[in-house]
Structure formats: C-alpha cells, structure tokens
Chains A and B, each alone.
Chain A
Amino acid sequence: MNRLPRISIVLLLWLLCTVPAMSIQRFPPPEFETDHTIPTATQPSARSVGFEILDVAVLTAALSLASWLVLKKRSRRWIVVLMLFSLVYFGFWRKGCICSIGAIGNVTLAIFDSNYAIPWVMLLFFFLPLLFTLFFGRSFCAAVCPLGAVQDVVLLRPLEIVPWLETTLRLLAWLYLSVAVLLAATGSAFVICRYDPFVAFFRFSANPAIWIISFSMLIIAIFVGRPYCRFLCPYGLILRQVGRISKFRVTITPDECIHCRLCEGACPFGAIEKPTVEWPRTEYPRGRRRLITLICLLPVFIAAGIWIGHALHPKLAANHPVVQLAQRVKLEQTGVHLETIDMSKAFYSSGQTLEHLYASADQVSSQFALGSAIMGGFLGLVIGGTLLTHSIFWKRAEYEAHRAGCVACGRCYNYCPRHRKWLKDKKV
C-alpha cells in the first residue's frame, strides 16, 4: 500500500536530478527534412520481482523438505535427490547469484553503511537457513546449498583427517569470516563472492586464477570430504555455532544406540563422536592445571591478536579501491612509477586534488586500523577458546553426530542396524 508514495518520491528525486541537467544547453541533433524521427535507445528491464519471490519460495520449500528428509524420513537417497535439485536450481540455473554464503557481505555492509539498504531477498537468504538451523540443525548444508552439493557428489575416496588437523584447519574459516566481514564493513570488497570456488562451474566462466582455485578445490573434494564447507565456508561456520543449540538434530540411530560400532567410520567429515571413557583419576589434576593455564593465557592470546591485527592493517586496507588508488598515485608522484595506468589516468582527469585523495585514503586506513585490531583480538579469542574447549572433558554415552560438525548428509543412517530395523518396521 505504501508503494505509491515511494514511487512518487523516487520520481520526485529523479525530476530534481534531471532538471538541472536539462537546463544545460545540449546541442540538439539535426532537424531532418525527411520525416525521419530520432529513435531512443531501448532499456531492457531487469529480472522481474516475480522470479525473486520464486527464489525465496524454492529456498523455503527446499529447507523444509531437507529438514523433513533428514529428521523424519531419514533417507540418504532422497537427500541426494534434493541436493541435486538444489545444485541445478541455485547453482546452474540461478548461476550461484543468489547465495546465502555471499549474503554475509551484504548483511555486513547493510549494518555498517547507512547508505546501503539490503535487498529483502538477500536478507531472507541470509536469515532463513539460520532459522531452520536453529530448529532442525544444518539441513541447509545437507541438501540446499549448491556449493555443498558439488563437493558432496564428487566425494569418492574420503581420507581421514586427524582431529587436531581438522580443528586447526577450521581456524582458516574463522580467519576467512573475519577478513570477509572487515572488508565488507569497510566497503572494500565482498571477498566471499570474489573467491567463490564453485561459481566458475555454475557459470562456465571465470578468470584463470579462479578456475585454478575451482579445479583444485574439486580435486581436493574427491579425497577430503567437503573441504570448503569444513575449513573455509564462513556461512558454514555461523551455521555450526547455531547448530550447537538447535532444537532437533541428526541422530545416527532412530531410537537407541546399541554400541555396535558399525557407524564408527561412516562419516567422511569426522563428525561422529565415540562414547567417552572416563578419564583416569590421575588425569584430572593435570586437566585442571591446563585449563587454568589456558584461561590465564586467554587475554594474552587476545592481546597478541590485537597487536598482529593492527600491524597488518595497511595490507588489509590495500584492498580498498581508494587506498589502492592513493598508493598508486603516490608512487607516480614520487617518481617510482613513471607510467600512468587507467586507474591513475582516471583520477588525474577527474580534477580531484591529491590532498583530497590522500585524506580519504587516510580515513579508510584509520577505519582499517580499528577494524583489524578488533578482528585480531577476536581471532585471538577464537584460538584461545578452541584450545579451551579441547581441554574440557565432554561426557558422551553413545555414538553421536557432532551437533556443530554434522552437515546432515544422512550417510550414517544406513550403517546403523537400529535404523534398518526401523525401516523394516515402518514398511510393516
């Protein structure tokens, strides 16, 4: 209903913008003696809003269906079918252009830049999977995300990754997420989109460097289960944390665990955890000491992070176009570079002053100084926290899918004898 006033405001703004432009004397085209009329250029419109509603509807349906398949139907086969559908729809048909992972950048920019209003479709693509994860676990990763689907279908010879390596590599995702948020918040770049490793396949085009990344990731994904999801994906990382407190979750067995150990090697993503044995009594004092040491060390980790982050801020700031331009122009002004490039040529022809350019670059740099320090401190906290959580004894009585690590692919179901019995019972 509030559409009309909005349109009129847009129209008014448009008129205000064009009135001064029209008052400028533009030299008219010739007046023809023949009745030739001067054409106007066509302006083909963008993809209609209807398609966007379809995108959101498909996302919601896929998430619901995935949650049902994972938790109620417990069928790996149908999960694969849905996964392939998502791969085709969100991947090849929509060319990875509407993507929850990339939406992190938009959401961040919308928070930090008051001039940027996030499109509602993007917002829903960011929040709907989070909401579903809060209720049903990572069903998005299971069968809706096209990037996850690519990796899942090529996983042929999974290698086991030792837990310490898994934990360490996951820190990469924290780093990636932090850098992505920092660069998006400063309006520098949407790195998650820029380095998307599978979008090249969806579009059948990319620059050579991205092709190399894409193919390497694909080859690695043959041997390492979902390497992007586990060790890099920033959105997966957020979903992991939400998954920890989800209302429902994947259970390997539909009812009870009989400790048959058949599922032990079932998970290619290392997300099945064995029941724990009690620590020997002698372990406790050591464990406690370690815990206390680590808690004391936590501020040190954070401080080190802040220091390193701050020290690295010039490198990070160099991703901002204004800083890039200022650096280049400075090098040309000081005679290091004798030739101008397109970027500096454009600057010189714009008539802007050097002082203005340097001042705005400095302003961006100071934003980065603060942002990088916060980022470094956060990463310090993450590293310290990771060490801490691995020094705490978690008690488990049965074989469990790890709440955070499980991507709900459904592979383990068929390994469980209780599941097979449950299937048989269901048929009868």
Chain B
Amino acid sequence: MKKRIGKIQSGVLTGLVLAVAIGAGVAAFLLFDTSGTKSTLPPEYKYEIEQYAKIDPALIIYEQVGDPIETDFDTACAITLDDAGNMVIAGDSKLVKYDLAGKPLNEIELPKEPTCIEFDLDGNLIVGMSNVIMILDPQGNTVQEWSAPTAVSLQTSIAADKDHVFAADALNKLVWCYDREGNVVNKLGAKDPDRNIPGIVIPSAYFDIATYPDGLLRVVNPGRHWIEAYTTDGDREWYWGRAGVDIEGFSGCCNPVALAVLPDGGFVTAEKGLVRVKVYDADGEFVGVVAGPDQLGWIEPLRVCKTPEECKAKGFDVAVDKAGRIYVLDTLRNVVRIFERNKSAAARAAR
C-alpha cells in the first residue's frame, strides 16, 4: 500500500501539501462571510425602493413647524382640529385634546376603539367606531348614538354637512349617508353600472372621505387611485387622480389613505407605503409636496415586528387648520407633525 518515495520527492510533496493547507486557510478566512452583510444576490432580484423615495427638494413647498409632537397613545388613528385650533386625536379607547404645544387639555373615555373623528359645523364631535357613530357636544356629552345598518362594517372615515352625516364603510365598500337622526338616506359609491359608478375598490382598511365647499362629497377610491365627487343623491360627478410612483401619481396598490381640504379649495393627500403627503389644487392638478419619506421618517418596506398589528400599522391621517397649516398624524409612531407653507417657496411661486 505504502510506496517508498525518494527524499526529494517527498519533500516537494510535503511542501505542496503545506502550501495547499496554508493557502486554503487564508483564502477561506478572506472569503468566508456568514454575517450576511454582503449580499451576492444579482441586482435584478433586489427591490430598491429607496430610489423612489427620493424627492426633488424644489418640489417640497412646505416645512415643518417645531418638533414632532409626541402623544401617549398606543395606537392613534385619527386627527381633527376644533374651532380654537386645538388638536383632537382619537385612538386606543379615548379621545384626547392637545394644544399646539402638545399639552393634553382633556380626555374622553370611549366605550370602544374609535376609528375616525370629525367636527360638524356646530362644533359637535362625530366619532366613528367600527360600526357605531356617536355625536358628542362640545362638553363631551353624548348627544346621539346609532349603529351602522349592517352588523359587520368598518367605518374608516366620517364627515358631516349641515343636514347629513357621511360614514365611509371599508367593509361594505360604500359611503352611508345619514340624516342627523341616524336614518340612512342614501348609499354612495356602490358599484352600479346603470349610473356609471364603477365601484370603490378597497384592498386594505383605508378609505377616506371629506366634505367640500361645493356641496359634493369627495370620496377616495384607493384601489383605483381616484378622488371621486358624489352628490348626496349618490350621483358620481367626476373624479381625478391616477396611479404612479412618480410624484404626481398615487403610489402602491391603494392610495391615498387620507384626504383633507385646504382653505383655498385644494386637497392634501397622504400615502402609505412610499410615505408622502402632497398638495393638489381644486381640479386635481399637482401643486407640491408637503413632506416625503425623509421628512416623515422613512419606514422600512418590511419591518421587524412582534405582532401582526404592529406590522400593519403604517398609515397617516391629515387635518388642515384655517390658516392652511397641515397636521400629519403618524399612526405608527403616534406623533403629529405640523407643516406650513414654506415662505421662500411661496415667494418663488409669487414671482
């Protein structure tokens, strides 16, 4: 079995073996990387979302006022402003009123988790829960309360004009139009080919509405990336908006997630996913950006979470005060950021 090997030959062999051993050790040490810091995945297999998150600074026409205001909510979900300019935030099982400095003024406990809030023209606060609507007077007393007509419903947004209360129901994919007593007067937005209504597409629990000075209700159709205008009779008058990751479009599968109306009749929209808050004029023409991922704190496309609901929370709600300042509630971090029109940008626009 064992062959006799000449002295020189075995020396050469020993040297070779040693060289191989040392070379292998060095090469392996240099090459071996299990830490996952260097990915060997070819670029076509990678989704680089960061590149779409970059926004041309010239398009950003708002700037943040002060620091983000911390709330003590576990899960905040909606924001609105009272006549005095205080913020009312709904979440957990309560409503909290904050002044502009972020100091809690008072707190109202609710029987269950609210999903949306809005003031009516008389200064009463309408609170939407999954399938219950409550109207509270300015002192916080319950004036009225009624349930949605279907047992299973998820009211994600609420709005009111003089005679009606509108509740956006994401599960039934329509807007309930109630009179002030809580009787259903009409259903808006349900699919109806005869009236040329294509139907509202709602892939996730985001479905916002807003009243508008012209008397038509603005309804977000998130799955189709539209803002539709409905009469209280349920006629669909027109719509605007389109899908797109470019700055003028609404990104992702279901955006915008929130809508608010500016004093000049323009619109503020908030998008999830590629987080950005933008301003459009009354006709739906893009005006500028309020805040992009950098200003709102970029949220990783996939986050490490402990619970499924923690992973899901990623939306925003927006509100506008009389001066046109924009309040953005980050429902993931439960903070409010206030933005106002950038002076230099305004001046540039004037020129």
Contacts and interface: CB of A to CB of B under 8 A. Distances in A.
Contacts of A131: none
Nearest to A267: B2
B27 A341 contact: no
A266 interface: yes
A243 B230 CA distance: 88
Given A21-B308, A25-B154, A216 B1 contact: no
A219 B20 contact: yes
A224 interface: yes
B300 interface: yes
A274 to B, nearest CB: 16
A411 B205 CA distance: 74
B2 A324 contact: no
A194 B24 CA distance: 16
Interface string B21-59: 101100110011111110100000000000000000000
Contacts of B20: 216, 219-220
Contacts of B305: 350-351
Interface in A208-253: 208-210, 212-213, 215-217, 219-220, 223-224
Given A157-B3, A158-B2, A209-B27, A343 B35 contact: yes
Interface residues of B, number: 41
Contacts of B300: 345-346, 348-349
Contacts of A26: 308
A118 B203 CA distance: 44
A384 interface: no
B108 interface: no
A61 B192 CA distance: 74
Contact of A209 (B32, B37, B299, B302): B32
A4 interface: no
B28 A209 contact: yes
A28 interface: yes
Nearest to B154: A25
**What size tier do the contact residues of chain A reach?**
35 or more
A32 interface: no
Contacts of A25: 130, 154, 205
Contacts of B24: 212-213, 215-217
A350 B304 contact: yes
B90 interface: no
A268 B28 contact: no
Nearest to B9: A157
A268 B307 CA distance: 60
Contacts of B299: 349
Contacts of B33: 209
Interface in A306-364: 324, 328, 341-343, 345-351
Given A157-B3, A157-B13, A216 B304 contact: no
Given A216-B21, A349-B300, A342 B3 contact: no
B190 interface: no
B171 interface: yes
B303 A159 contact: no
Contact of B308 (A24, A213, A341): A24
A213 B170 contact: no
B231 interface: no
B186 interface: no
B31 A208 contact: yes
A365 B182 CA distance: 64
B299 to A, nearest CB: 8
A13 B304 CA distance: 23
A208 B1 CA distance: 34
Interface in B163-210: 170-171, 202-205
B214 interface: no
Given A217-B24, A219-B20, A212 B31 contact: yes
B5 interface: yes
B10 interface: yes
Nearest to A189: B34
Nearest to B4: A265
Contacts of A224: 17
A342 B2 contact: no
B309 interface: yes
A27 interface: yes
Contact of A24 (B2, B23, B27, B309): B309
B87 to A, nearest CB: 24
Nearest to A27: B205
A268 B2 contact: yes
Contacts of B308: 21, 24, 26
Nearest to A352: B304
B2 A350 contact: no
A223 B17 contact: yes
Residue among A216, A220, A224, A348 with the most chain B CB within 10 A?
Answer: A216
A328 B35 CA distance: 11
Contact of B170 (A21, A27, A194): A27
A341 B2 contact: no
A268 B1 CA distance: 9
Given A24-B308, A157-B3, A324 B35 contact: yes
A349 B306 CA distance: 11
B144 interface: no
A347 B300 CA distance: 11
Contacts of B21: 216, 220
Contacts of A21: 307-308
A159 B205 contact: no
A159 B27 contact: no
B295 interface: no
Contacts of B342: none
B248 to A, nearest CB: 27
Contacts of A345: 300
A217 B28 CA distance: 12
Given A216-B24, A343-B35, A343-B37, A157 B5 contact: yes
10 contacts: A24-B307, A157-B3, A158-B2, A208-B31, A212-B31, A216-B23, A223-B14, A268-B1, A349-B302, A351-B305
Interface of A: 21, 24-28, 157-159, 194, 207-210, 212-213, 215-217, 219-220, 223-224, 265-266, 268, 324, 328, 341-343, 345-351, 411
Given A27-B203, A213-B28, A347-B304, 19 more contacts: A24-B309, A25-B130, A25-B205, A27-B170, A157-B5, A159-B5, A207-B32, A209-B32, A212-B28, A220-B20, A224-B17, A265-B2, A266-B1, A268-B2, A341-B37, A342-B37, A343-B37, A345-B300, A350-B305
Nearest 5 pairs of A and B residues by beta carbon = A216-B24, A350-B304, A209-B31, A209-B32, A349-B303
